[in-house]
Amino acid sequence: MKRTIILRAVALLLVGCTPKVPVLTPEIQAQMIVDIKSGNAVLDCNIACTGPWFFGGHEELRQFYAAQDWQALGTHVLKIGLQMDLGYFYLGRAAEGMGADEAALKYYRIAGALATGSMTSLQCAHTECDGISLPADLYPRIAAVQADIDRKNSPPTPQLGQSSSGQKTHHKRKAAPKPADDWITPPPITH
Protein backbone atom coordinates (compact mmCIF):
# COMPACT_ATOMS: atom_id res chain seq x y z
CA MET A 1 0.00 0.00 0.00
CA LYS A 2 2.76 2.43 1.01
CA ARG A 3 4.71 1.57 -2.15
CA THR A 4 1.62 2.25 -4.34
CA ILE A 5 1.18 5.68 -2.77
CA ILE A 6 4.84 6.51 -3.37
CA LEU A 7 4.65 5.34 -7.00
CA ARG A 8 1.51 7.42 -7.60
CA ALA A 9 3.14 10.48 -6.03
CA VAL A 10 6.21 10.05 -8.23
CA ALA A 11 4.00 9.58 -11.31
CA LEU A 12 2.06 12.76 -10.49
CA LEU A 13 5.29 14.68 -10.05
CA LEU A 14 6.61 13.44 -13.37
CA VAL A 15 3.38 14.29 -15.18
CA GLY A 16 3.31 17.67 -13.45
CA CYS A 17 6.84 18.45 -14.57
CA THR A 18 6.48 18.16 -18.30
CA PRO A 19 6.87 21.15 -20.58
CA LYS A 20 3.78 22.48 -22.29
CA VAL A 21 5.16 21.34 -25.68
CA PRO A 22 7.27 18.17 -25.19
CA VAL A 23 8.78 18.08 -28.71
CA LEU A 24 9.56 21.06 -30.94
CA THR A 25 8.99 19.95 -34.51
CA PRO A 26 9.86 22.37 -37.33
CA GLU A 27 6.12 22.95 -37.89
CA ILE A 28 5.49 23.75 -34.22
CA GLN A 29 8.52 26.06 -34.11
CA ALA A 30 7.36 27.90 -37.23
CA GLN A 31 3.90 28.42 -35.71
CA MET A 32 5.42 29.59 -32.43
CA ILE A 33 7.47 32.21 -34.27
CA VAL A 34 4.35 33.41 -36.09
CA ASP A 35 2.52 33.62 -32.75
CA ILE A 36 5.37 35.52 -31.10
CA LYS A 37 5.64 38.06 -33.92
CA SER A 38 1.88 38.60 -34.07
CA GLY A 39 1.57 39.16 -30.32
CA ASN A 40 -0.59 36.06 -29.90
CA ALA A 41 1.84 33.98 -27.83
CA VAL A 42 0.44 33.13 -24.41
CA LEU A 43 2.07 31.67 -21.34
CA ASP A 44 -0.74 29.96 -19.48
CA CYS A 45 0.87 27.14 -17.53
CA ASN A 46 1.53 27.37 -13.81
CA ILE A 47 2.44 24.55 -11.41
CA ALA A 48 2.74 21.86 -14.08
CA CYS A 49 5.46 23.84 -15.88
CA THR A 50 7.61 24.83 -12.92
CA GLY A 51 9.75 21.69 -13.19
CA PRO A 52 10.93 22.31 -16.76
CA TRP A 53 11.57 25.98 -15.93
CA PHE A 54 13.57 25.46 -12.76
CA PHE A 55 15.33 22.21 -13.67
CA GLY A 56 17.46 23.44 -16.56
CA GLY A 57 14.94 25.42 -18.60
CA HIS A 58 15.92 28.84 -17.37
CA GLU A 59 19.60 27.97 -17.91
CA GLU A 60 18.87 27.36 -21.59
CA LEU A 61 16.84 30.56 -21.78
CA ARG A 62 19.65 32.55 -20.19
CA GLN A 63 22.07 31.17 -22.81
CA PHE A 64 19.74 32.02 -25.71
CA TYR A 65 19.26 35.51 -24.27
CA ALA A 66 23.01 36.08 -23.89
CA ALA A 67 23.63 34.78 -27.43
CA GLN A 68 20.80 36.97 -28.80
CA ASP A 69 19.26 33.89 -30.40
CA TRP A 70 15.78 35.41 -30.40
CA GLN A 71 13.96 32.61 -32.22
CA ALA A 72 15.34 29.93 -29.90
CA LEU A 73 14.61 32.11 -26.86
CA GLY A 74 11.00 32.69 -27.86
CA THR A 75 10.24 29.12 -28.90
CA HIS A 76 11.78 27.66 -25.75
CA VAL A 77 9.82 30.05 -23.52
CA LEU A 78 6.67 28.87 -25.27
CA LYS A 79 7.79 25.25 -25.08
CA ILE A 80 7.95 25.53 -21.28
CA GLY A 81 4.84 27.75 -21.14
CA LEU A 82 5.29 28.95 -17.53
CA GLN A 83 3.29 32.08 -16.85
CA MET A 84 5.82 34.33 -15.19
CA ASP A 85 7.06 37.91 -15.47
CA LEU A 86 10.48 36.75 -16.68
CA GLY A 87 8.88 34.50 -19.30
CA TYR A 88 6.97 37.45 -20.76
CA PHE A 89 10.11 39.61 -20.57
CA TYR A 90 11.92 36.95 -22.61
CA LEU A 91 9.01 36.82 -25.09
CA GLY A 92 9.19 40.59 -25.42
CA ARG A 93 12.92 40.50 -26.03
CA ALA A 94 12.49 37.71 -28.59
CA ALA A 95 9.77 39.63 -30.44
CA GLU A 96 11.84 42.82 -30.34
CA GLY A 97 14.88 40.97 -31.65
CA MET A 98 12.78 39.59 -34.52
CA GLY A 99 11.54 43.09 -35.41
CA ALA A 100 8.00 42.68 -34.05
CA ASP A 101 7.86 45.87 -31.98
CA GLU A 102 4.10 45.94 -31.33
CA ALA A 103 4.20 42.37 -30.03
CA ALA A 104 7.27 43.15 -27.92
CA LEU A 105 5.50 46.09 -26.32
CA LYS A 106 2.53 43.86 -25.48
CA TYR A 107 4.72 41.21 -23.84
CA TYR A 108 6.72 43.83 -21.92
CA ARG A 109 3.52 45.34 -20.57
CA ILE A 110 2.28 41.92 -19.46
CA ALA A 111 5.66 41.28 -17.79
CA GLY A 112 5.32 44.59 -15.99
CA ALA A 113 1.82 43.80 -14.78
CA LEU A 114 3.01 40.46 -13.45
CA ALA A 115 6.17 41.92 -11.89
CA THR A 116 4.23 44.58 -9.99
CA GLY A 117 1.08 42.60 -9.28
CA SER A 118 0.06 40.92 -6.08
CA MET A 119 0.58 37.33 -7.31
CA THR A 120 4.15 36.75 -6.13
CA SER A 121 4.10 33.23 -7.51
CA LEU A 122 4.21 34.81 -11.00
CA GLN A 123 7.26 36.91 -10.17
CA CYS A 124 10.86 35.85 -10.50
CA ALA A 125 11.89 38.16 -7.64
CA HIS A 126 11.66 35.31 -5.15
CA THR A 127 13.41 32.81 -7.42
CA GLU A 128 16.12 32.80 -10.09
CA CYS A 129 15.78 35.89 -12.34
CA ASP A 130 18.76 35.16 -14.59
CA GLY A 131 20.37 38.49 -13.67
CA ILE A 132 17.36 40.47 -14.87
CA SER A 133 15.69 42.95 -12.54
CA LEU A 134 11.96 43.32 -13.08
CA PRO A 135 10.28 45.72 -13.54
CA ALA A 136 13.39 47.98 -13.74
CA ASP A 137 14.82 46.30 -16.86
CA LEU A 138 11.50 46.69 -18.65
CA TYR A 139 11.64 50.49 -18.82
CA PRO A 140 14.59 50.84 -21.22
CA ARG A 141 13.23 48.06 -23.42
CA ILE A 142 9.77 49.67 -23.57
CA ALA A 143 11.35 53.05 -24.39
CA ALA A 144 13.48 51.52 -27.17
CA VAL A 145 10.54 49.68 -28.70
CA GLN A 146 8.27 52.72 -28.47
CA ALA A 147 10.94 54.86 -30.15
CA ASP A 148 11.18 52.31 -32.99
CA ILE A 149 7.39 52.28 -33.38
CA ASP A 150 7.26 56.10 -33.40
CA ARG A 151 10.09 56.30 -35.93
CA LYS A 152 8.40 53.78 -38.23
CA ASN A 153 5.05 55.57 -37.99
CA SER A 154 6.34 59.09 -38.58
CA PRO A 155 5.99 60.51 -42.08
CA PRO A 156 9.21 60.74 -44.07
CA THR A 157 10.92 64.12 -43.87
CA PRO A 158 11.68 65.87 -47.12
CA GLN A 159 15.36 66.32 -47.81
CA LEU A 160 16.89 69.76 -47.59
CA GLY A 161 16.07 71.71 -50.72
CA GLN A 162 12.94 69.65 -51.59
CA SER A 163 9.31 70.13 -50.77
CA SER A 164 7.15 67.23 -49.60
CA SER A 165 6.08 66.78 -53.22
CA GLY A 166 9.71 66.27 -54.24
CA GLN A 167 10.09 69.62 -56.02
CA LYS A 168 13.23 71.65 -55.40
CA THR A 169 12.75 74.69 -53.24
CA HIS A 170 14.97 77.51 -52.14
CA HIS A 171 14.94 78.10 -48.42
CA LYS A 172 16.09 81.09 -46.50
CA ARG A 173 17.51 80.28 -43.14
CA LYS A 174 14.91 80.99 -40.46
CA ALA A 175 15.57 81.81 -36.86
CA ALA A 176 14.90 78.97 -34.44
CA PRO A 177 11.48 79.26 -32.80
CA LYS A 178 11.37 80.35 -29.19
CA PRO A 179 10.46 77.64 -26.68
CA ALA A 180 6.80 77.44 -25.82
CA ASP A 181 5.60 78.68 -22.45
CA ASP A 182 3.96 75.33 -21.71
CA TRP A 183 7.04 73.11 -21.40
CA ILE A 184 6.52 70.15 -19.11
CA THR A 185 9.03 69.78 -16.31
CA PRO A 186 10.27 66.21 -16.01
CA PRO A 187 9.61 64.47 -12.70
CA PRO A 188 12.48 64.49 -10.20
CA ILE A 189 15.01 61.69 -10.25
CA THR A 190 14.49 59.57 -7.17
CA HIS A 191 17.42 57.18 -7.31
125 contacts 115 by C-beta, under 8 angstroms: yes
Q: Which residues are CB-neighbours of 43 under 8 A, at least 6 positions away?
A: 77, 78, 81, 82, 83, 84, 87, 88, 91
Rounded alpha-carbon distances, angstroms, from residue 70 to 36, 37, 80, 141, 153? 10, 11, 16, 15, 24
Nearest-angstrom CA–CA distance, 125 and 137? 13
Which residues sit opposite 82 in a β-bridge?
45
Rounded alpha-carbon distances, angstroms, from residue 103 to 21, 35, 99, 100, 122? 21, 9, 9, 6, 20
User: Of all helices (H) and strands (E), which one includes residue 148?
Assistant: helix 138-153
* Binned average pLDDT, 10 residues per bin, the chain of 191 residues: 40 48 84 96 85 83 95 95 92 97 93 84 72 89 93 77 53 37 30 29
User: What pLDDT score does 50 carry?
Assistant: 84
| Helix, strand, coil percentages in the chain from 3-state DSSP, rounded to 5 | 60, 0, 40
